[in-house]
Chain A
Amino acid sequence: MSVDAPPVTPTIAPLTRRKDPRQQTQRILNVVTLFLGVGIWWALSATGINLPSPPEVLAAAVKLAADGTLWNDMLASLTRVLTGFALGTALAIPVGFVMGWYAWARGLLEPWVQFFRTIPPLAIIPLAIVLMGIGEQPKIFVIFLAAFLSCVISTFQGVVQVDRTLINAARVLGAKDGTIFAKVVVPASTPFILVGMRVGLGSAWATVVAAELIAAQEGLGYRMQQAQIYYQLPTIFVGLIVIGILGLIMDRALLLVEKKLTGWQERR
């Protein structure tokens, strides 16, 4: 059949993953700025400002790693974040779907979600400690809340923005509500859910350190708190840098998942 010649060549290979020269310059600049930043830090610490120098911080890191403290603290903080985050998103996704799908659920739940969203999670800590004591529970609870609130909003928005035409297309192909939900609404809102999860993970991570400052026996936040009491600046720096790096790694991991799951999106 001599229908219109396909304007796209039939390479069904993934998106153009060719090395873009502009992208390469970006990479180089990223590395340059890293060295520049450390250089400026080093220079500043050499001028006599009360800052530990990079070698001092490195030494502190090696020492903390060697006696196992650093790994213990990382494990403790990560466990809290991941537990709170997992619980938060596990609840947020169904709640967000129900809010987006049923008008009555939105009417009942949205005011509460919006209200709690305006309270910084840290402001909940005193209440959580009074109600739950100073064990793991209040810390995980606060992280859970932070992750839940940011994820529920975007899941809900994802469901609301699903294109009516796609739903109609499914209906005329014979799909009933259950199928439409599972086969259209869920995939169509996946990009939104993943954005919500990334924001949720970010706020969970931000909250954990603060939660550990209050009452803990281990964890990166606790370590920094201790270091503050004994005036160990290098240890505080190690804590900050490790928190930053772990946060970045987790974010990148989710970004990767997002790319895998939502590669079907048309990018304008």
Chain B
Amino acid sequence: MNTDERPKIEINDITKVYELGKEQFYALGGVSLTLADNEFVTVVGPSGCGKSTMMNILAGLDEPTSGTARVDGKLVKGPSPERGVIFQQYALFPWLTVRKNVEFGLKTARVSAAERHERAEHFIEMVGLTQFADALPKMLSGGMKQRCAIARAYAMNPSILLMDEPFGALDALTRVKMQEHLLHTWEQEKRTVMFITHDVDEAAFLANRVVVMAARPGRIQKIVNVDLPYPRTEEMRLSREFADLRNEIWHAVYHQSPKSDRTDAITANQESEKS
């Protein structure tokens, strides 16, 4: 295979099994997915379908029961600053100012003070927090906190960004602004992004491709291509095409048939036991 065409992220038949008493619970029941370089993929699905589990495995914060996750062809083993992660709960260090938060990873990597300052300054400006560079997180609103977290992830110059419902805790208005802001940032600084959400609108607006997941076992239900160009605009959001797209995704999320090889087997078993 040509190295240029090698996918950025390869998830290969990953399962994650939890033992619940005697039962085996498939949080992920064999998920495979590849992301091309600089692709923006959103993952949407009902809660409990294994979205966070998949992301944590990619981040190196969790291990799969079987299967492999590769980034740039390298097996994921433990967390690395190469893979930036943004959490729903912001996860800013509350005792550090915005600037110090953004510099945290750089300091850990022993980047020289001058370069640290310069990079922090750049990314703080990129997310529009220059005025608040020396403020503590408690002074910031939810949206500003998440922008700080985005700057902190970007400062490490990661090749991929993993975001787990980053706007989940924000109100609807702030959320829309943050989506536009994130896309704006991403167009300036292209990265491969995997963005998890349970909001169908958000999933459609941000992505090249929307991955719809289903639960029990956690699996990929459908992949929807979004053929709208970037930059995405408000007109697009209100367009006919977008509405159709949203319908399609909505149906995939909310009218899930229990269709998967593994579930078929399980449901068939249960049915035969019942009768």
Q: Do A and B bind each other?
A: yes
Q: Do the beta carbons of A12 and B139 come within 8 Å of each other?
A: yes
Given contacts A172-B60, A265-B94, list 11 more A-B pairs with CB under 8 A.
A6-B144, A8-B141, A12-B135, A169-B91, A169-B93, A172-B84, A173-B152, A174-B105, A175-B108, A187-B95, A264-B137
Q: Which among B80, B108, B127, B177 has the highest number of chain A CB atoms within 10 Å?
A: B108
Residues of B within 8 A of A (CB-CB), count: 43
> Chain A: interface residue count, which band?
20 to 34
Bound Cα distance from A175 to B81, whole angstroms: 9
Given contacts A10-B132, A187-B93, contact A170 B104 (CB under 8 A): yes
What distance in Å separates the Cβ of A90 from its nearest Cβ neighbour in chain B? 23
Asked whether any CB of chain B lies closer than 8 Å to the CB of A131, the reply is no
Asked whether any CB of chain A lies closer than 8 Å to the CB of B223, the reply is no
Interface residues of B in 84-143 (CB under 8 A from A): 84-85, 87, 89, 91-96, 104-105, 108-109, 127-128, 131-132, 134-141, 143
25 contacts between A and B (CB under 8 A): A1-B128, A3-B147, A4-B174, A6-B132, A8-B140, A12-B139, A166-B93, A168-B85, A170-B93, A171-B79, A172-B60, A172-B81, A172-B83, A173-B104, A173-B156, A174-B156, A175-B105, A183-B93, A184-B93, A188-B95, A263-B136, A264-B96, A264-B137, A265-B138, A266-B138
Asked whether any CB of chain A lies closer than 8 Å to the CB of B61, the reply is yes
Bound Cα distance from A1 to B125, whole angstroms: 10
Q: Interface digits, A224-264 against B, CB 8 Å rule (1 contact, 0 not)? A: 00000000000000000000000000000000000000011
Given contacts A7-B141, A172-B84, contact A165 B181 (CB under 8 A): no
Bound Cα distance from A187 to B97, whole angstroms: 14
Nearest A-chain residue to B177, judged by Cβ? A4
Q: Do the beta carbons of B104 and A1 come within 8 Å of each other?
A: no
Could you list which residues of chain A lie within 8 angstroms of chain B, going by C-beta atoms?
Answer: 1, 3-4, 6-8, 10, 12, 163, 165-166, 168-175, 179, 183-184, 187-188, 190, 263-266
Given contacts A4-B177, A173-B152, A179-B108, contact A168 B91 (CB under 8 A): yes
Please name all residues of chain A whose beta carbon is closer than 8 Å to the beta carbon of B138 when the two chains form the complex.
Answer: 264-266
Nearest B-chain residue to A180, judged by Cβ? B108
Bound Cα distance from A172 to B59, whole angstroms: 7
